[in-house]
């Protein structure tokens, strides 16, 4: 009903049956028209909503147009309300000098001289309505941009506060789908912030963890907090990019219980979250981070389907799948994870297209159309399936089928002190990173492993030092750097010193096709991770992983 009001035509034609005739013409074309008696009623209806107005020249000639002019002057920036003015002497200033006054008052006005053909009248009306719809679209985009600007400003302020407050702000930003696609640059910044924190904590724990029980406890808690911050960042980024899967046996009951508060905060206070998990549920073979993202995605979809709120139920149960199953799965045992809402539901046509990439029934700016497509792709990658059941007015149920793991998995906890792998000899390392905090922290972690480190602030400086005769066993470089990035640097090193391996450290989440075959270490990382990466490079000195051969750079 609201859309009908926002697109209706207001007709001001007080003489004879002009108003009724105009409404009839619009009605035959499928357009709604409401007849008003005078300028006062016209302005009152404009406050409620309208798509355009049809006004006769005699209705406004000599009338007090102050109220109408005031309403037009106070229109929001996106609005330029259209009028179709029915005249008797044409709309041009030469034939109708009074038209100049109408132009000044009404602004966005189209003149139609009487008598006219109904087809011409309807065509002008439809054109005016199309213009009004474009204004509504502009309003939606402006509201989205204003919200984006407000949220970005808030996020900048929060980054100067404690790390926990910054992460909480990022979590709130993720709940808005239009802000859920965080840029690789933002991800890079936060990975850079976490890397020196994790590295410093690792070194402090190694040095003082065994001698001071209180310090060991505090450092262990801080490392766990850093790991949780890393996981939270991965959740935020997962909505905007497809990650490679790292499957393992996972306790689904523990996973759902652990993320219940996150789901509740994501869907808001009007949605009641109910969690029901079968007792003695077996472990499932999944990527826990990606599964959490899928559940959050489905929960947000359920929230959007219930604008007035309602129950959201998450179920997990073991099921046996046989031949001719729906969805088509290999026979065996599965865990069926269901997300059920009591929202508006979908018709059969929408259900048939729901998992298509970029297909969305949400209004402009409210969704990407990638949510269900990503969940469906995840289920397929995990060897399971997805079944969507819905009916208009009866809610929606999404069943995610996950394979039961063949063996139990140990509980994922960070050990008090990680075992650090050794290369077996002292290395000479050239470390290149434009971010001083990351470079200093990484250099200290490598030196603490017993290696010699030379530092450079950028790709050009690092390459110049190599060309000046600096001899190193390995180059460790950041990817995203101003001037020469890590990919370009690696290609130059491959041309001049092909026996020197290059390790890429990066928190960048955008496309990296130029360095797909380079060994890499994702930020944030600790001392154990960088030690393992170096050990992997020199596990076999006869087969060091190096940059692949490329065409010479011209």
Q: Average pLDDT, stretch 128-132?
A: 91
When mean pLDDT is compared across 64-73, 226-235, 299-308, 376-385, the lowest value belongs to 226-235
When mean pLDDT is compared across 80-84, 146-150, 428-432, the lowest value belongs to 146-150
Q: The domain at 252-403 falls in which architecture?
A: 2-Layer Sandwich (3.30)
3-state secondary structure (DSSP) of residue 11 = strand
Residue 239 has pLDDT above 50, yes or no: no
Give the side-chain half-sphere CA count within 13 A for 44: 8
Give residue 197's pLDDT. 82
When mean pLDDT is compared across 101-115, 248-262, 467-481, the lowest value belongs to 101-115
Give the side-chain half-sphere CA count within 13 A for 287: 21
Task: Please give the residue that has the higher pLDDT: either 190 or 543.
Answer: 190
The Cα 40–Cα 42 span in angstroms is 5
Give residue 3's pLDDT. 64
Q: Average pLDDT, stretch 405-425?
A: 53
The Cα 237–Cα 182 span in angstroms is 6
Q: Average pLDDT, stretch 119-134?
A: 91
Give residue 302's pLDDT. 86
Q: Average pLDDT, stretch 424-446?
A: 88
Confidence bin at 389 (pLDDT 50/70/90): confident
Give residue 242's pLDDT. 40
The Cα 502–Cα 511 span in angstroms is 19
The Cα 10–Cα 60 span in angstroms is 14
Residue 444 has pLDDT above 50, yes or no: yes
When mean pLDDT is compared across 128-132, 351-355, 512-516, the lowest value belongs to 512-516
Angle at 42 between CA 37 and CA 46, to 5 degrees: 150
Average pLDDT, the chain: 78
SS (H, E, C) 172-220: HHHCCHHHHCCCHHHHHHHHHHHHHHHHHHHHHHHHHCCCCHHHHHHHH
Residue 80 has pLDDT above 70, yes or no: yes
Confidence bin at 134 (pLDDT 50/70/90): very high
Report the DSSP beta bridge partners of residue 335: 318, 402
The Cα 145–Cα 381 span in angstroms is 36
Task: Please give the residue that has the higher pLDDT: either 337 or 362.
Answer: 337
The Cα 431–Cα 421 span in angstroms is 19
Give residue 352's pLDDT. 64
Closest Cα to residue 445, out of 415, 476, 469, 408? 476
pLDDT digits (tens, 9 = 90+) for 446-495: 898 889 999 999 889 999 999 888 999 999 998 878 888 888 888 898 88
Task: Please give the residue that has the higher pLDDT: either 398 or 522.
Answer: 398
Confidence bin at 349 (pLDDT 50/70/90): confident
* C-alpha dist (Å) from residue 397 to 166, 299, 394, 404: 34, 11, 10, 21
CATH 3.40.50.2300 is right for the domain spanning 428-537: yes
Give residue 540's pLDDT. 54
Dihedral sign computed on CA atoms, order 207, 212, 215, 217: positive
Domain boundaries, the chain: 2-140, 159-238, 252-403, 428-537
Domains 2-140 and 428-537 share a fold: yes
Count CB-CB contacts under 10 A for residue 98: 14
Confidence bin at 183 (pLDDT 50/70/90): very low
Which residues make Cβ contacts (< 8 Å) with residue 118, sequence separation at least 6? Answer: 25
Q: Out of 89-93, 284-288, 546-550, give the one with best mean pLDDT.
A: 284-288
The Cα 464–Cα 449 span in angstroms is 26
The Cα 396–Cα 389 span in angstroms is 6
Give the burial string for 514-553 (b: 16+ CB within 10 Å, else e).
ebeebbbbbbbbbbbbbbbbbebbbeeeeebbbbeeeeee
Q: Average pLDDT, stretch 205-230?
A: 75
Give residue 415's pLDDT. 37
Closest Cα to residue 465, out of 438, 492, 435? 492
Residue 538 has pLDDT above 70, yes or no: yes
What dotted CATH number matches 2-140? 3.40.50.2300
Confidence bin at 181 (pLDDT 50/70/90): very low
């Amino acid at each position: 009903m609201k859309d009908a009001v926002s697109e209706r035509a207001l007709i001001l034609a007080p003489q004879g049956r002009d108003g009724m005739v105009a409404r009839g013409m619009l009605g035959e074309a499928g357009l709604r028209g409401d007849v008003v008696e005078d300028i006062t009623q016209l302005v009152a209806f404009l406050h409620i909503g309208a798509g355009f107005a049809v006004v006769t020249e005699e209705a406004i000639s000599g009338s007090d147009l102050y109220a109408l002019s005031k309403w037009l002057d106070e229109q929001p920036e996106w609005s330029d309300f259209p009028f179709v003015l029915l005249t008797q002497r044409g709309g041009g200033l030469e034939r109708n000098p009074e038209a100049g006054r109408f132009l000044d008052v009404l602004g966005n006005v189209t003149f139609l001289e009487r008598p006219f053909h109904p087809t011409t009248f309807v065509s002008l009306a439809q054109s005016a309505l199309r213009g009004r719809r474009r204004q509504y679209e502009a309003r939606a985009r402006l509201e989205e941009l204003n919200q984006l600007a407000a949220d970005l400003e808030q996020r900048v302020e929060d980054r100067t506060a404690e790390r926990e407050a910054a992460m909480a702000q990022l979590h709130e930003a993720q709940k808005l789908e239009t802000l859920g696609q965080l840029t690789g640059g933002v991800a890079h910044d936060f990975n850079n912030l976490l890397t020196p924190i994790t590295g410093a904590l690792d070194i402090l724990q190694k040095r003082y963890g065994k001698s001071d029980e209180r310090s060991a406890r505090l450092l262990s808690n801080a490392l766990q907090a850093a790991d949780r911050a890393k996981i939270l960042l991965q959740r935020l980024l997962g909505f905007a990019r497809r990650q490679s899967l790292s499957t393992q046996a996972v306790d689904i009951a523990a996973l759902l219980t652990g993320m219940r508060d996150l789901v509740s905060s994501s869907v808001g206070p009007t949605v009641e979250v109910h969690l029901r998990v079968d007792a003695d549920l077996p472990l499932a073979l999944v990527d826990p981070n990606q599964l959490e993202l899928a559940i959050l995605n489905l929960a947000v979809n359920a929230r959007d389907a219930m604008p007035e709120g309602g129950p959201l139920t998450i179920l997990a149960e073991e099921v046996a799948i046989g031949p001719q199953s729906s969805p088509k799965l290999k026979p065996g045992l599965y865990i069926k994870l269901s997300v059920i809402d009591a929202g508006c539901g979908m018709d059969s046509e929408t259900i048939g297209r729901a998992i298509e990439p970029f297909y969305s029934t949400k209004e402009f700016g409210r969704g990407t159309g990638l949510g269900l497509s990503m969940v469906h792709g995840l289920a397929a990658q995990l060897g399971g399936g997805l079944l969507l059941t819905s009916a208009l007015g009866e809610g929606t149920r999404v069943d995610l089928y996950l394979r039961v793991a063949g063996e139990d998995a140990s509980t994922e906890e960070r050990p008090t002190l990680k075992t650090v792998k050794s290369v077996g000899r002292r290395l000479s390392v050239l470390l290149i990173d434009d971010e001083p905090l990351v470079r200093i922290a990484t250099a200290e972690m490598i030196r603490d492993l017993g290696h010699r480190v030379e530092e450079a602030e950028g790709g050009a400086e690092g390459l110049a030092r190599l060309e000046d005769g600096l001899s190193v066993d390995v180059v460790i470089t950041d990817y995203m750097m101003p001037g020469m990035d890590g990919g370009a640097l690696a290609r130059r090193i491959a041309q001049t010193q092909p026996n020197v391996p290059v390790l890429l450290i990066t928190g960048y989440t955008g496309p990296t096709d130029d360095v797909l075959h380079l060994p890499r270490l994702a930020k944030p990382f600790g001392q154990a991770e960088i030690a393992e990466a170096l050990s992997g490079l020199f596990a076999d000195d006869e087969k060091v992983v190096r940059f692949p051969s490329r065409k010479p750079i011209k």
